Amino acid sequence: MIKKRRQFLVWSSILGVSPYLSAKSMGTYEKAFKKIEPTIAAVQEHMFPKGSKLPSAKVMNVTQFLFETMMHKSFDKDIKAFVLEGAKELEKREKGRFASMTPQEKEIALRAYEETNYGRSWLSRIMTLTMEGMFSDPIYGSNINEVGWKAINAYGGSPRPKTRYIEL
């Protein structure tokens, strides 16, 4: 009787903890995003470079914002797939070297990609998601020190959020 109870407690503990263990492992989307993250970051940094009137994409942490936004359970799965596939397509077109190109080479590559319907739509989506990060409430991890708002002399709505929409 004691042995059965002990076995029950051991198995209950293992089964009770297993969802938490699997939640910590990297999911399919996360793995796919990590592969194309340098490309997305390079596109965002090209669109919002250091030294322009708006803060740079890198300083504003917009790639992480994009990732966290797309990880949310309410984010549209088709848009998520589109963002991933569009980055893969850009990398394929540029033979895996987009992130290491010079600014001039990136401009030429992005203009060529923009000439395709798919590329134009993808670049528009990346621009939209990047701007959402740049001008969102700083609680979400971007628009650090409200620099995005200050750059355009506009400020977020009221009341301000008190918690993030996604638990990290």
Q: What is the pLDDT, as a whole number, of residue 1?
A: 58
Residue 16 has pLDDT above 70, yes or no: no
pLDDT at 24 over 50: no
Query: Residue 52: is its pLDDT beyond 50?
Result: yes
For residue 126, what pLDDT is reported? 97
154 in the Ramachandran plot: left (φ > 0), alpha (ψ -120 to 50) or beta?
beta
- End-to-end CA distance of the chain: give it in Å, rounded: 43
Phi, psi (rounded to 5 degrees) for 156: -60, 165
pTM (2 d.p.): 0.79
Tell how far CA 87 is from the center of its chain.
Answer: 12
Tokens 């969102």 -> residue: 136
Residue 8 has pLDDT above 80, yes or no: no
